[in-house]
Amino acid sequence: MRFDILTIFPEALRDLLSTGILGQAQASGVIDVRLHDLRSFTDDPHRIVDDRPYGGGAGMLMKVEPFVTGIESIKASGDGKRRTVLLSPQGRLFRQADAADWARLDGLILLCGRYEGVDERIIEFVDEEISIGDYVLAGGEVAAAVVVEATARMMPGVVGKFDSIESDSFYDKPRLGAPQYTRPPEFRGLRVPEVLLSGDHAKIEAFREAQAWKKTTRNRPELLGLSLEETTKHG
């Protein structure tokens, strides 16, 4: 799968996306990450990618032309089923299900905004607008890295043991993953639950499932449609 990222700071992503499992996946050819400097798609000698917003207001707005030129250039360089996504705090919330769906594509084109955002006309040239959370970052680079890693992990050959993904939070249910433990069996009076040391796989599976739902109720009650008051009531 090919990931194309349009950004004014390609160097900020280069090291991040070439380490760990993403670096290994690129080396083995499972994924192909291409970073594109947005300024290379400008048509003026000063390589300007932003301007003052019409109607006034604080800050600068990213221009639509470089993004559209970049999108068209990327699409002309390869075929296949791909999706173009604008990373923005105004977008729909990115979910694990999106990562799973996008992992079946041939490619993703990710647009990293900056400053006060991107000229709204960009919406006509993308498939959707995505946010990674209800907060504002300085730019879309961190969000792009999140989308690339979450999506790549859903592809066979990226994570060493693909079946380990099935225990991830949000994998196939609206809940968090179960608490996990490793050696030593006791640390400062805190013991690993005995059932995990029993070797009884059926009991271990049941314990983990119950603990996963319990942790979800405590940490993310909204995933279960519960209010804070209901969470407190149920412990």
Could you give the residue numbers annotated as active site?
89, 116, 153, 168
Contact between 38 and 8 under an 8 Å Cβ cutoff? The reply is: yes
Residue 126 backbone phi and psi in degrees, to 5:
-120, 160
